[in-house]
Amino acid sequence: MEVITVTDYNEMSIQAAEYIISKVRSSNSINLGLATGGTPLGLYKYMVLDFQKNTTDYRHVISFNLDEYVGLSEVYPNSYHYYMKENLFNHINILDSNVHLPNGNGASLQKECALYDKLIKECGGIDVQVLGIGQNGHIGFNEPGTSFGTKTHVVKLTESTRQANKHNFDNLDEVPTHAITMGIQSIMNSREILLLASGTEKSTAIYKLLQGDLNEQFPASVLQLHPNVTIIVDEQSLSSGISI
Ligand code: GLP
């Protein structure tokens, strides 16, 4: 794993944007795996600013998001569909038909999961997958204990994850209990992974990611097995005394 240490959240976001933008500019066709949450907001902000300033072209980009809540309408502001439109897709020239998120409202969620993996495969797989990390080491919504062999699947969210995501909702009861997430195997199939982390609340997770054991109780540890992972972290998220 290549670790790039930066001073703060803003610097992490700038470096991540430069990384993704240079990949987009230097390819004729690229499949991006995208994440939600607070961490990539700065990345998306700088991608939008770059688009406005430099008109970087996204018409050849196909995107696949990691996850989506079950049962939230796409127009509901807390759905990840809405988040992606608001923060990125509405502000760059990516084609609507090239944008994909799991469908948490399908009649058969199992079918939706299988379809999502099939679609990713048919499009040639993911070239670069952007990841955040949960405080308990979750990636996507793959909670501790998830098998490293999982494909896209339905998950029951842990109470700690629902609590961590509560700030976006009116109250805890409104936070969905389930989500669809790309599985750990689906994430590991990406040719390249870019993981971002910022803030002291992520420092234990980053410590375990870089220096802990490979363990399904800490899902992100699977990245130790991936041949092409870049991690951009700020100094606060390295505050658990990691020596790199
Ligand atoms: C959420 C998302 C993850 C995200 C993580 C961290 O539950 N499903 O994809 O990486 O939690 O979120 P944040 O970036 O807000 O800390």
Choose the residue to mutate in 129, 135, 141 for probing ligand 1, maximizing ligand atoms within 8 Å of C-beta: 141
The residue whose CB lies within 8 Å of the most ligand 1 atoms, and thus the one to mutate among 12, 138, 196, is 138
Ligand 1 centre and the CA of 170: distance in Å? 18
- Cβ–ligand 1 contact at 35 (below 6 Å): yes
193 contacts 230 by C-beta, under 8 angstroms: yes
Indicate if ligand 1 lies below 6 Å from the C-beta of 198: no
Q: What is the pTM of this model?
A: 0.95
Do residues 202 and 119 touch, judged by C-beta distance below 8 A? no
- DSSP per-residue letters across 52-67: HHH----TTEEEEESE
Residues identified as active-site: 67, 136, 138, 143
DSSP, residue by residue, 149-210: T--SEEEEPPHHHHHHTGGGSSSGGGS-SEEEE--HHHHHTSSEEEEEE-SGGGHHHHHHHH
Domains of the chain: which residue ranges? 2-238
Gap between the Cα atoms of 174 and 23, Å rounded: 38
- pLDDT tens for residues 8-66? 999 999 999 999 999 999 999 999 999 999 999 999 999 999 999 999 999 999 999 99
Length of the chain: 244
**pLDDT digit string (tens) for 210-224?**
999 999 999 999 999
CATH 3.40.50.1360, applies to 2-238: yes
